[in-house]
Chain A
């Protein structure tokens, strides 16, 4: 980890000082334990702020769009794939962005740690190899990291960014074994009524803060369907039916583009599981079109074109 951190700083410094980029977007230490925060470095002397660890969970690809300068952005596998999706969708000049790819073995899910600790607050934390050491008032615990990684990381098949301009460190072995759609299969096994109850219960806690939308790099519409008034597609109150429409339509808007980085679920202040519905659309893309978003800059996304051999058994 330390080696990667130093390598990131070296690469970033080189890019900045050689003026290949005007700005580096990375992570710096956060103000709370187990947190990092996005960092915008435009001076070489600030490079030392950049860190790399298992708390680098923010999706920095969000900050790539809408910038006029040349930027270098630190990208985990999921982040790099999202930058690729935005590049395919022509949302930014590709030549202005240097993707600094970093291999990632998963980011820590703070909510899982909070669930484990209950009301105890973590005041200090260190992550060493496969262990998370947490300390607080009157307690000290060692937690196995693998049990506290984000769900999206547990089944990640792209620990090494498939697309990048610079690769930092050594490639790590990919997880070829895990069934990334196990969660979806569980849901599919339920009856329609059970699924409906499940989603109603989950989404009733939504407070319509739109953190899920705003943290997602794919949600870049200048005028989101939520805010349109002419016509108004659905209500803005936290009435359950309106809330369900919001989440379902958003899932459809990112279908075929989402890479399951998990940022939406991490951002949600009410701890909603926002990934499961979108994960189902990801499964459909894989099974019907053999497609994975963001692994190739050449492939046109299936939902953006029509091929004669596209499955159409549902047309009777």
Chain B
């Protein structure tokens, strides 16, 4: 439940005490938090060897890998041709806490939830993990220049997808309870102090500043509708030319979910796949409906900014900026959206 009225909605914790809270959490939960190695932050399981780094902008890899790992065993099997025994992976035991999730990544879970639970067949692997996880968000006081979350329906202090939201107010964190699940978690730490008015005021000021600090703006106002009429537009001939067709943007994107399923010895696995790879749609006959980078780039843009809107009502982009930062040739999705916006289409 989101946005309900919770008594004692705001708590605070001194920064120095946060490691204690995290240690307490690890006794009961599997805690994942950003861990830095050589300046690169990634979400790892917190352990005595892997301590969270709380000063980080965002992780290189998106958090979808917690719920939908890059390589996942769908089932294992034993066979001797005359008989086969299928063994489903063990049920997800135990509960997880994801700590310091940026609002853009938390919002990506909301979008992925819509997708994985849609239709007649639900993706049990993703949903089971999601069910057992509490999300503790960390609001962004200083967004990056590549962040454009506010243009994509999010915000640096967004609460979509989080159960609790931490906010850095100098030497303390303000903790806001967003859902019942968040409240449940907080109950385990009765020693947390209530927030004072000064704390919440400071937080409010910081959130206003952060919102203004998101300088990168991309208008998607008419993009969805325009794309309906742009399938054969010559714009695609230009856009794709410098694209290398690698998987960086899709793998680092929090809302890209496409996968491949294959058999390896003794098991069936599913792995991240990318619509940018040439074999993605290559048929056994040799026919490929998307034979070149142009069709594949078009698919990416139309999928995220048009097709999913028709199917799930949302643009599948949270404005995290990872694809912008990491594209080897600086192909910028914001520029593509702007080009579409500016396009005169019949």
Contacts and interface: CB of A to CB of B under 8 A. Distances in A.
A194 interface: no
Interface residues of B, number: 43
Interface in A29-72: 30-32, 35-40, 58, 62-63
A26 B263 CA distance: 44
B208 interface: no
**10 interchain residue pairs of minimum CB distance:** A267-B328, A214-B246, A237-B71, A37-B330, A214-B244, A209-B247, A38-B242, A211-B246, A30-B330, A269-B326
Nearest to B326: A269
Contacts of A32: 145-146, 324-325, 330
A270 B274 CA distance: 17
Interface of A: 30-32, 35-40, 58, 62-63, 114-115, 118-119, 121, 123, 137, 207-211, 213-215, 227, 235-239, 263, 266-267, 269-271
Contact of A63 (B61, B242, B274): B242
B251 A207 contact: yes
A232 to B, nearest CB: 9
B339 interface: no
Given A30-B330, A227-B278, 10 more contacts: A31-B332, A31-B335, A37-B330, A63-B242, A207-B251, A213-B246, A236-B262, A237-B269, A267-B246, A269-B326
Contact of B334 (A31, A115, A118): A31
Given A227-B279, A238-B70, A209 B251 contact: yes
28 contacts: A31-B334, A32-B145, A32-B325, A37-B242, A37-B331, A58-B329, A121-B57, A121-B144, A209-B248, A211-B247, A214-B244, A215-B246, A227-B278, A227-B279, A235-B264, A236-B262, A237-B71, A237-B271, A238-B70, A238-B71, A238-B271, A239-B71, A266-B328, A267-B248, A269-B251, A269-B326, A270-B40, A271-B38
B278 A209 contact: no
Given A32-B324, A38-B242, A207 B61 contact: yes
Given A114-B39, A237-B71, A210 B329 contact: no
B71 A31 contact: no
A63 B241 contact: yes
A137 B246 CA distance: 33
Contacts of B329: 37-38, 58, 215
Interface string B175-191: 00000000000000000
Nearest to A35: B330
Contacts of A210: 246-247, 277
A136 to B, nearest CB: 9
B216 to A, nearest CB: 9
B153 interface: no
B56 A119 contact: yes
B123 interface: no
Contacts of A121: 57, 144-145
Contacts of A35: 330
Contacts of B264: 235, 237
Interface string B261-302: 010100001010010011100000000000000000000000
Interface string B314-342: 00000000001110111110110000000
A58 B326 CA distance: 13
A118 B39 contact: yes
A119 B140 CA distance: 13
A213 to B, nearest CB: 7
Contact of A236 (B238, B271, B325): B271
B226 interface: no
A120 B170 CA distance: 18
B65 to A, nearest CB: 9
B209 to A, nearest CB: 12
Contacts of B144: 121
B260 interface: yes
A120 B64 CA distance: 25
A184 to B, nearest CB: 22
Nearest to A30: B330
Contact of A40 (B146, B241, B251, B274): B241
Nearest to A263: B328
B335 to A, nearest CB: 6
